[in-house]
Amino acid sequence: MSTDTQHDAAPDSGPLHGLHRFLLIGKKRIFSYHLALYNVPAHAFQAIVTLGLDETVRDAYLADLEQHKNDRVFYSLFSPDHFPLEDLKQGKTFKVQLERVMVKPDGSRQFQKMLNGQQTDAVCRPEDVRYFRKLGGLPYPTYLTYLLFGEGDEVHLAHQLAEKPNWDEVITATEPQNIDPALLSKIPDVTIESIRDPHGVVPESPLKKGQKYDAEADGAATPISFKAGRQGWWNHTSLNA
């Protein structure tokens, strides 16, 4: 069992080397979302990648997700390999361990090793890096803003990590409308103008599960809409520590 601060930088490998975690999002296409930390240089990145995973990892994740689909349970990959996250952009193969992330009533998290802690290879090709941005230099937006990503009929939204303090969140949308599949590949910003950005950290999501939202997506000719679905990640604590 471990915590989300375990993936700090190694003391003898430089500030941008680290033990990284990625949250698993989606079913048909599994996206890996980097666990960001504002104040740790090795993890001060918001990144979305599509890793090549061992079938045992995929099968175990999907089976466990089905069991816990109505629970506040997340899933992550922990890598015991030290490397700068930017190495992914050049292509990299590294070891990972599948974890179930249990959320306690007080909001704290426990990262539980699955598959008896078995290490398998994760493969990232340069083209698998879908979104990559170093944190900093992005002011709070006027309205609630997310990154739109996914593939086919699976649509996800990750909260844009602008100024700190802030919160990190990924949700899967249900009943998405007017979302062009080509738009998803660009991972555009999505603005929900009915909700002003709080310009700080919040203890729970402004998006309520089951509620419909209209939004403006960069590059879209018409507004989009969706209902907020399952939460695949939430962090308003260690992100800002």
- Please, which residues have CB within 8 angstroms of residue 48's CB and are 6 or more apart in sequence? 31, 32, 33, 34, 130, 131, 132, 147, 149, 158, 187
pLDDT block averages, 10 residues each, the chain of length 241: 52 76 98 98 98 98 97 97 97 98 86 98 98 97 98 97 98 96 95 98 97 97 97 96 94
Mind listing the pLDDT tens digit for each residue in 157-179? 999 999 999 999 999 999 999 99
Q: Residue 170 falls within a domain, yes or no?
A: yes
Query: Does a structural domain hold residue 1?
Result: no
| Reported pTM | 0.94
Residue 193 in any domain: the answer is yes
Q: Is residue 11 part of a domain?
A: no
Q: What is the pLDDT of residue 191?
A: 99
The verdict on 182 and 92 lying in the same domain is no
Domain final position from 109, 133, 157: 133
Q: Which pairing describes strands 73-84 and 92-103: parallel, antiparallel, or unpaired?
A: antiparallel
- Maximum distance among all alpha carbons in the chain? 51
Residue 6 lies in a domain: no
Spatial separation of the C-alpha atoms in residues 120 and 118, rounded to whole Å: 7
Domain final position from 115, 133, 151: 133
Q: What does the block give as tokens for 132?
A: 């990559």
Residue 4 has a pLDDT of: 60
Last residue of a domain, one of 77, 101, 133: 133
- pLDDT computed for residue 1 by the predictor: 43
Alpha helices in the chain (DSSP H): 55-67, 181-184
What is the per-residue pLDDT for 7? 56
Distances (CA, A) of 165 to 102, 168, 213, 224: 24, 10, 25, 28
Regarding whether 160 and 228 lie in a shared domain, the answer is yes
Domain holding 95, by residue range, is: 17-133
